[in-house]
Amino acid sequence: MAMKPCCRILIHRRNSAFFGFPSPKSHSHNPFPQISSISRLNFTHNHEFHNFWPRILGFRGAIDRTQKPSCAPIANWGKSRVFSSACYGNCLGRSLYVIASVASNVRNYSTSVETRVNENNFERIYVPNGLNVKPLIVERIDKDENIGRDEEFRVDDNGERVNNENSKGLLNVEVPSVGEEESAVEKEAWKLLRNAVVTYCGSPVGTLAANDPADKQPLNYDQVFIRDFIPSAFAFLLKGEAEIVRHFLLHTLQLQSWEKTVDCYSPGQGLMPASFKVRTVPLDENKFEEVLDPDFGESAIGRVAPVDSGLWWIILLRAYGKITGDYTLQERVDVQTGIKLILNLCLSDGFDMFPSLLVTDGSCMIDRRMGIHGHPLEIQALFYSALRCSREMLSVDEGSKNMVRAINNRLSALSFHIREYYWIDMKKINEIYRYKTEEYSTDATNKFNIYPEQIPHWLVDWIPEKGGYLIGNLQPAHMDFRFFTLGNLWSIVSSLGTPKQNEAILNLIEAKWDDLMGNMPLKICYPALEYDEWRIITGSDPKNTPWSYHNGGSWPTLLWQFTLACMKMGRPELARKAVDLAEKRLPGDHWPEYYDTRNGRFIGKQARLYQTWSIAGFLTSKMLLDNPEVASLLFWEEDYELLEICVCALRNSGRLDDACMVFRDIDAKRSVSWTTLIAGYAHRGDCYRGLQAFKQMLLEGGEANAFSFSIGVKAYASIGSHTCGKQSMAGVGSAINKLNDVVAMIAEVRSIADSLGISSDRLAVPEDIKIVIHRILCS
């Protein structure tokens, strides 16, 4: 039967600019006034595109009245409000083959994307010469044609959006498994997870937040949440089914640039939605179309923008490449642009004096009022992880090198800030207990003017002798001493904490197992807000009553993050203990969202059953334990280069004592960090400690370059320690025995000093150094 080609391009109704270029206006009549945010342009096969500039990426499909809704992953990342696919008739019948390489090769059609950056801010991301590209074409291919596996995917839909068949056609990736055969609980969990898969245009794009068939009022639990999908994505990746993750990443990327407004105000470009829903919109006669309807916070309780969505998206993008080995996705121009937009939003200048990210209450997993406004640990840990991911994935060129430099500077500053000021253990509590207040000085001990009376009574008896954790929040004159599980676990995974701090966090969890695990892992925070504190901080929230929901409830989805943290620190036995505990209860309790009471004995009073991320968290934990090599791809080790950057920055700002603290955390010390420390002592006039540092460098086998050598010699001369100088110089070897070589090496000091930003006028001239060396050799 001959089929009539149909093309549909959807553009946002408002004339919103796309990276500075105006969108084309629609001159056609909109037959659907009830959907105010959509304007539609219908073209038949004999109509041509109007000569708009820039041209809009579109797709063309051959559709008849017996076909089901289907389309290729859309590569248009412009400001469209709703993406849709037309469907005719009763939508029963045929499958459709689609060339997937069209979408994956969009970077070949797109022009390069650059980032214009000045020293204070990232001004804009623009596309040179507009989008002067050809529309994407998706043609129907007969079934008898041979097409390579890597050049196609099959879209198959039986008319139901959520069913067992929705996961068919997922890209298979081999993931080695050393575990045993799946248990009955795992098989049940996989069945439930696949039942929760959501399709859009015939392709899987995510999972429902909850899929309880008995729930008649799902509210927004029938949507795909970005943060909720993360454990599901990891489960599918570890299972070797990667296509659903790829589709999720691309479709949410398309939603990023949509126009969103709350009370006539639009947030910054680059914001990722909290969730989206696939809606079916009826058209004329037997036609309908599927549309993506995102929520950027304009419909959320409290109208809070989801800060963590973009951070999780970047983290998942890296994980996709690490596990599948497919790095072409992150190399695409539209994906690179999406990363930069998120970073622009996070790295933009503001009034804040701290390197941590300032957010409102309810902008992360704890999405209700719980007193976490300011600089909550969860956001900082995800922010740090997203920055490290971005540094790995960004294509370094003239347009992005300034952004990479800004990422490095922010990473080093953020790691120092969190490690130094958020860390709490018995020693730190005692230090705070003896704080002096109202200090006005750049080198004040109590930098945030914390009053000792803020130390809660429960903490003094609760903190173990061996163990510690990162507090929940830090602001002027305020420390939130609650233990927030997600932030501490992700600090371990991302190496935001030092190796000793990471080990201490797990020691605390083990020591306080009954409080943090109880009958169901894991407490989202500890302790709960009670009495007047609950009434004042939560506003008497009836859902966040003490030891319920976000206020001390137990959340099974945190299990996979706990497992990943334990595996990184070489403590898988702790993770297995928690997984075994959860496995005994979750199936019988129908996989609830959270548990109530101090020990997690009751199913949450408002908890949804068959909560998808509870199911996925359990499955991901099991597979991580069975595949330690794959798990190692998902966490980060300590980055000593960042610590060296931090040492240099602190020394240059005159904070030498802080630089020394960071320096002690560097296991593999290189010459640049040694030299920075020695130079800091010399410039401060503390030549004795500079000499001691130089001597320690030689004893530890550090390489003495011309700069560090000259500073060491100057220190010896300043304190007149010829004997000590002779002893220390013995470690330099042949350089001392060959005086002429030494002098030649020292002659380069001025240029090296200038390159490091240190005035060469403060260094001894070569002739003076030569005299000092002679004295040392003759003493």
For residue 378 the two structure tokens come to: 């969860």
> What mean pLDDT is predicted for residues 180-209?
95
Q: Are the beta carbons of 437 and 446 closer than 8 angstroms?
A: yes
Final residue of a domain: which of 608, 631, 654? 631
> What mean pLDDT is predicted for residues 755-766?
51
587 and 498 co-located in one domain: yes
Mean pLDDT of the chain: 74
> Which letter, b or e, does each residue of 375-396 get, where b requires 16 or more Cβ atoms within 10 Å of its Cβ?
bbbbbbbbbbbbbbbbbebbee
105 and 219 co-located in one domain: yes
HSE, side-chain direction, 13 A CA sphere, residue 482: 25
* Model-wide pTM > 0.75: no
Tell me the pairing of strands 38-44 and 60-62: unpaired
Q: If we measure between CA atoms, which residue out of 540, 558, 564, 622 comes closest to residue 594?
A: 558
Domain that holds residue 672: 663-778
Band (pLDDT 50/70/90 cuts) for residue 715 is: low
287 and 371 co-located in one domain: no
482 and 590 co-located in one domain: yes
pLDDT digits (tens, 9 = 90+) for 611-641: 999 999 999 999 999 999 999 999 999 887 7
Q: Among positive and negative, which fits the CA dihedral 583, 584, 588, 589?
A: negative
Predicted confidence (pLDDT) at residue 356 exceeds the cutoff of 90: yes
pLDDT digits (tens, 9 = 90+) for 573-588: 999 999 999 999 999 9
599 and 675 co-located in one domain: no
Check which CATH number belongs to the domain holding 609 and give it: 1.50.10
Q: Are the beta carbons of 288 and 87 closer than 8 angstroms?
A: yes
Predicted confidence (pLDDT) at residue 82 exceeds the cutoff of 60: no
Q: If we measure between CA atoms, which residue out of 269, 6, 37, 257 comes closest to residue 131?
A: 257
Q: Is residue 343 part of a domain?
A: no
> Helix 766-778 vs helix 706-719: angle between axes, to the nearest 10 degrees?
70
Q: Are the beta carbons of 673 and 647 closer than 8 angstroms?
A: yes
Q: If we measure between CA atoms, which residue out of 287, 336, 341 comes closest to residue 90?
A: 287
Separation between Cα atoms, residue 347 and residue 344, nearest integer Å: 5
Q: Is residue 396 part of a domain?
A: yes
Separation between Cα atoms, residue 87 and residue 64, nearest integer Å: 8
In this prediction, residue 261 carries a pLDDT of 64
Predicted confidence (pLDDT) at residue 381 exceeds the cutoff of 80: yes
Q: Is residue 694 part of a domain?
A: yes
Separation between Cα atoms, residue 84 and residue 70, nearest integer Å: 10
Task: Give every CB contact of residue 337 below 8 A, 6+ residues apart in sequence.
Answer: 77, 113, 125
624 and 670 co-located in one domain: no
DSSP 730: G
Q: Are the beta carbons of 502 and 495 closer than 8 angstroms?
A: yes
Check which CATH number belongs to the domain holding 688 and give it: 1.25.40
131 and 276 co-located in one domain: yes
667 and 627 co-located in one domain: no
Q: Is residue 640 part of a domain?
A: no
Q: Is residue 618 part of a domain?
A: yes
How many domains would you assign to the chain?
A: 3
Q: Are the beta carbons of 416 and 650 closer than 8 angstroms?
A: yes
- Going from the C-alpha of 519 to that of each of 2, 188, 189, 559, 560, the distances in angstroms are 63, 22, 20, 13, 17
387 and 282 co-located in one domain: no
Final residue of a domain: which of 271, 304, 337? 304
Instruction: Tell me how crowded residue 742 is: count the other CB atoms within 10 A of its CB.
Output: 23
Task: Give every CB contact of residue 205 below 8 A, 6+ residues apart in sequence.
Answer: 198, 199, 224, 244, 247, 248, 251, 278
- Going from the C-alpha of 720 to that of each of 25, 150, 593, 716, the distances in angstroms are 81, 73, 70, 6
Of 344-358, 415-429, 708-722, least confident by mean pLDDT is 708-722
> What mean pLDDT is predicted for residues 559-563?
98
In this prediction, residue 187 carries a pLDDT of 97
Separation between Cα atoms, residue 578 and residue 573, nearest integer Å: 9
Q: Are the beta carbons of 206 and 244 closer than 8 angstroms?
A: yes
Separation between Cα atoms, residue 45 and residue 57, nearest integer Å: 17
In this prediction, residue 434 carries a pLDDT of 94
Predicted confidence (pLDDT) at residue 606 exceeds the cutoff of 70: yes
Separation between Cα atoms, residue 274 and residue 271, nearest integer Å: 9
361 and 295 co-located in one domain: no
For residue 778 the two structure tokens come to: 């003759």
Separation between Cα atoms, residue 153 and residue 184, nearest integer Å: 31
95 and 163 co-located in one domain: yes
3-state secondary structure 116-183: EECCCCEEEEECCCCCCCCCCCCCCCCCCCCCCHHHEEEECCCCCCCCHHHHCCCCECCCCCCCCCCC
